Structure 1
């Protein structure tokens, strides 16, 4: 894991961006990690995965809520038929 102070990163940004292609480079201030340089493709995948995980959690929460309220889900075939999508 690479850690670089923000001050040092100013002078070495191009090199740090190249290093970030293989692993994140953490930027520090007062010995605390405050930011990171990551490869753009890695960031895109992480954001896509985070969105997918948020959707999965929301679906699970909705299912838990339906069970807690004793609600009966409407079958997808019935919804499609009611909307004229069959």
Structure 2
């Protein structure tokens, strides 16, 4: 994974897009030396979203299985944070 400054990213944005799209490179952009955002290819984003969906689905299945009455989305979310 490559890390660059926000100034460098701004100056070379098109190149960074190409590196992420065609080479599959993951690029972290730093502001004041701290990582703040990343540029990733669309395939990586789709994979990340699929993993998140799978986790959310499993959490929901467990919540339904453990449910002994009415619950709210906030309660499920709070329980997930504490797991």
Scaled by the length of structure 2, the TM-score of the pair is 0.69
Query: Helix, strand or coil: the match of 2:25?
Result: coil
Query: Which structure has more RCO (C-alpha within 8 Å, separation ≥ 6)?
Result: 2
Look up the match of 2:4.
Answer: 4
State the structure with more CA Rg.
Answer: 1
Scaled by the length of structure 1, the TM-score of the pair is 0.67
Separation in 1, partners of 2:30, 2:66: 41
Richer in helix (by share): 2
Q: Which consecutive aligned stretches of 4+ in structure 1 deviate over 3 angstroms post-superposition?
A: none
Q: Which structure 2 segments of 5+ residues have no match?
A: 70-83
Look up the match of 1:48.
Answer: 50
- How many residues are paired up? 67
